[in-house]
Amino acid sequence: MLVIPVIDIKNGKSVRMVKGLEDKTVFYSESPLSMARLFRKENAKCIHITDLDGAFSGDMINYNTIKEIVDKVGVPIQLGGGIRSFEIAKRLFDDLGVYRLVLGTAVVEKIDLVEKLLAEYSHSKIVVSIDVRDGYFVKTGWTEKTDIRGVELALIMKSMGIKRIIYQDVSRVGTLAGPDFEGLKEIAEKTGLRVTAAGGIGGYPDLAKIQELEPLGVDSVMMSRPIYENRFPCQAIWREAEKVDTSLELPKVK
């Protein structure tokens, strides 16, 4: 199972929102670049970045910070937050150089954008994040609850050509209380899509339980807080033994 570290950026800093609430934010680092380099040093194969400012405003407020990570860290970057127009997506792909984009709010507000991006960049470059609260899709930085059930939206996206979704119950995000296992199982079984689990992972036991869903298509997991807080065997030892010199640029992955 692929583990994808997450860097959430707010006001240029690395943070973690708790339960999808903007006023419950855990601060981690002044430098998202340093966090990305640390994850790269710990052999991350891919890094997910969420532009929280973009998720709320729809603008690329942290563009320069994200570009620095893309240019200097050397692993594929998956990016979400505020991607609500083709022009923004094109700039992120062509100018910024991100590997894959994650759509959220846009899939219910601008469904034609999904069609256009799939036609231009293919399903391998576009992922839809099914963010739910009480089973219903939430949008605009998780602040607005819609009347669309997460499973229903995932099936609509599948009919349009989406092959992978990220699934998370936002009430669990940042809590370390465990992901929504039943929701993960349901959406994987009913859609047949490839699923990346997120939201609430607290440590290795949760990873082991998620891995049991791999035959259903749950093949990867995104997390931040348990990695930041060294909640995995040997992780603290790796970090002590492999100090990151942030003045050095890491080589590009071939």
Catalytic residue among 8, 51, 53, 180: 8
**All residues at 6 or more sequence positions from 177 whose CB lies less than 8 Å from its CB, including other chains:** 200, 202
Catalytic residue among 51, 53, 131, 206: 131
Cα–Cα distance measured from residue 126 to residue 165, given in angstroms and rounded to the nearest whole number: 9
Single-letter amino acid code for the residue at 166: I
131 is catalytic: yes
8 is catalytic: yes
Which residue numbers are catalytic?
8, 131
